[in-house]
């Protein structure tokens, strides 16, 4: 039996061997696929806007081995203060190029961030006040960007940043100029959602940042060094609530984002920062899971050993499944449940597959985005992660066991 269509995009691997050695379920990471995604996106970005910084949104998947690969490939990390700050420090991958976002950067975290010289995109007025205090204590001027919140679409996130419609962006810039001599605004940041397929959103967002930057610059409130348009780019794994799913190409996304900047600033444009996560990492991972039980008179309800706790993406997106166990069998439609005692623990409905048998190993596509980073422990513990590269495989995260689960408990 030939390899299933979506599996052909990956370097060869033996699913049964991997599951036999490392257990099931199992995440499989393909650094070569990741590198291909990075090179394609970087190439498109260079064509459209040479003065750029390509960043990776670490929250999308913060598996240390994957983050290390991304840094080695020359991509700048974009982090949220907290765990990701700790992780980048452990990896030795934090420096003045690192971009720091998020609604809560504690004072202690900001001291570390300032010490590394990172780019800070400020979320709120209180954060501005804390940064001014830290700049005063250090006797230095701290360069910052302002995160902008704007109602550019119905799906736009409005809980983050200084709200454009309320006049908060202009007010923040005025306060910095009037009352915060140890801060200097040099950039604007806008990120309004995830899995965005609407190109008009990116055009409108880019145009808004350009207009704001030119206004603030004309008022002497900002030196325009960079515009950060975030990420949010979709992949070919659709959301369940979308009847149609057409994903723009990288060139289409970047045309929508860069045309307003070129029109506004011409040849002397600011540095453009792009922070994709899903677009780079999503297809670089597969999830392997094993058929364990059958339910119903027609045996069309299947219990797998992977649940939504290790693969939360399945709650929202329509992933593809392929049976890697081989053999020519008639096709049948299945509902694929996980092992959890939750009605919502369903990985797929009406999934057409060659007739399944107990012990069959299934591959699930687009397993890289918001799977490992958003997984949780419930009834079943977290699986191992194996990397397949250069014709070989190696364990990069061991399978969680009860000793891992109990090691933080001081008494039981």
Are 89 and 216 in a shared domain? yes
Are 250 and 260 in a shared domain? yes
Give the pLDDT score at 153. 66
Give the pLDDT score at 154. 64
Q: What is the mean pLDDT of residues 327-338?
A: 92
Give the pLDDT score at 2. 47
At 155, list the tokens: 């799906």
Instruction: Report how far residue 134's alpha carbon sits from residue 131's, in angstroms, rounded to the nearest whole number.
Output: 5
Are 267 and 157 in a shared domain? yes
* 26 closest CA partner among 303, 364, 404: 364
Are 24 and 164 in a shared domain? no
Are 300 and 239 in a shared domain? no
Are 335 and 397 in a shared domain? yes
Averaged confidence pLDDT in the chain: 94
With 70 as the cut, is the pLDDT of residue 3 above it? no
Are 162 and 198 in a shared domain? yes
Give 238-268 pLDDT, tens digit per residue: 988 888 899 999 999 999 999 999 999 987 8
Give the pLDDT score at 13. 94
Give the pLDDT score at 90. 96
Q: For residue 29, which phi and psi values (nearest 5 degrees)?
A: -105, 135
Poorest-pLDDT segment among 235-244, 356-365, 376-385: 235-244
Please return the burial class of 210, using the count of CB atoms within 10 Å of its CB with bins 0-12, 13-18 and 19+: buried
Give the pLDDT score at 156. 67
Q: What is the mean pLDDT of residues 48-60?
A: 96
Q: Which domain holds residue 92?
A: 32-281
Q: What is the mean pLDDT of residues 279-307?
A: 97
Question: Which CATH number is 97's domain given?
Answer: 3.20.20.10
The structural domain count of the chain equals 2
Specify the residue for token string 């679409």: 153
At 116, list the tokens: 């590394």
Q: Hey, CA dihedral for 121, 274, 51, 266, is it positive or negative?
A: negative
* 209 closest CA partner among 221, 193, 196, 191: 191
Q: Which helix (H) or strand (E) holds 213?
A: helix 199-218
* β partners of residue 273: 53, 228
pLDDT band for 1, please (50, 70, 90 cuts): very low
Are 268 and 292 in a shared domain? no
Q: Point out the domain boundary residue: 224, 247, 281.
A: 281
Are 258 and 311 in a shared domain? no
Give the pLDDT score at 151. 83
With 70 as the cut, is the pLDDT of residue 5 above it? yes
Give the pLDDT score at 395. 98
Residue at 411 is within a domain: no
Question: Which CATH number is 305's domain given?
Answer: 2.40.37.10
With 80 as the cut, is the pLDDT of residue 327 above it? no
Are 13 and 43 in a shared domain? no
Instruction: Give the rounded distance of the alpha carbon of 127 from its chain centre.
Output: 24
Q: Point out the domain boundary residue: 263, 281, 299.
A: 281
With 60 as the cut, is the pLDDT of residue 215 above it? yes
Are 50 and 23 in a shared domain? no
* 121 closest CA partner among 112, 111, 110: 110
Give 126-172 pLDDT, tens digit per residue: 999 999 999 999 999 999 999 999 888 666 667 889 999 999 999 99
pTM: 0.94
Instruction: Report how far residue 412's alpha carbon sits from residue 406's, in angstroms, rounded to the nearest whole number.
Output: 9
Poorest-pLDDT segment among 242-251, 283-292, 361-370, 389-398: 242-251
Are 13 and 105 in a shared domain? no
pLDDT band for 4, please (50, 70, 90 cuts): low
Q: H helices within 23-103, ranges in order? A: 31-48, 64-72, 83-91
Residue at 168 is within a domain: yes
């Amino acid at each position: 039996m030939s390899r299933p269509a979506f599996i052909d995009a990956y370097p060869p691997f033996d699913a049964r061997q991997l599951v036999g050695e490392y257990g099931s379920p199992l995440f499989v990471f393909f650094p070569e696929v990741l590198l291909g995604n990075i090179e394609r996106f970087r190439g498109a970005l260079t064509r459209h806007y040479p003065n750029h910084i390509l960043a990776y949104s670490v929250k999308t998947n913060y598996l240390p081995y994957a983050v290390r690969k991304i840094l080695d490939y020359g991509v700048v990390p974009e982090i949220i203060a907290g765990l990701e700050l700790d992780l980048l420090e452990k990896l030795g991958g934090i420096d003045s190029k690192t971009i720091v976002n998020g609604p809560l950067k504690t004072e202690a975290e900001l001291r570390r961030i300032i010490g590394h010289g990172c780019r800070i995109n400020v979320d709120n007025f209180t954060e501005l006040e804390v940064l001014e205090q830290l700049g005063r204590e250090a006797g230095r001027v701290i360069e910052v960007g302002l995160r902008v919140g704007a109602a550019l679409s119905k799906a736009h996130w409005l809980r983050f940043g200084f709200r454009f419609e309320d006049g908060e962006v202009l007010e923040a810039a005025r306060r910095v100029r009037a009352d915060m001599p140890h801060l200097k605004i040099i950039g604007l940041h806008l990120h309004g959602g995830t899995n965005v397929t609407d190109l008009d959103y990116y055009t409108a967002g880019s145009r808004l940042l350009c207009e704001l930057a030119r206004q603030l610059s004309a008022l002497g409130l900002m030196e325009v060094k960079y515009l950060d348009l975030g990420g949010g780019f979709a992949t070919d794994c659709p959301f369940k609530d979308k009847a149609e799913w057409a994903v723009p190409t990288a060139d289409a996304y970047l045309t929508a984002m860069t045309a307003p900047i070129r029109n506004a600033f011409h040849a002397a444009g600011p540095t453009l920062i792009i922070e994709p996560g899903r677009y780079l990492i999503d297809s670089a991972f597969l999830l392997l899971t094993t058929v364990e039980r059958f339910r119903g008179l027609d045996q069309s309800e299947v219990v797998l050993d992977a649940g939504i706790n290790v693969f939360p993406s399945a709650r929202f997106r329509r992933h593809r499944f392929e049976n890697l166990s081989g053999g020519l069998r008639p096709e049948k439609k299945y509902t694929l449940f996980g092992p959890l005692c939750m009605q919502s623990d369903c990985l797929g409905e009406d999934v057409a597959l060659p007739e399944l048998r107990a012990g069959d190993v299934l591959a699930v596509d687009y397993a890289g985005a918001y799977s490992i980073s958003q997984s949780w422990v419930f009834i079943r513990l977290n699986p191992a992660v194996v990397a397949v590269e250069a014709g070989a495989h190696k364990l990069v995260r061991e399978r969680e066991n009860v000793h891992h689960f109990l090691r933080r408990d001081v008494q039981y």
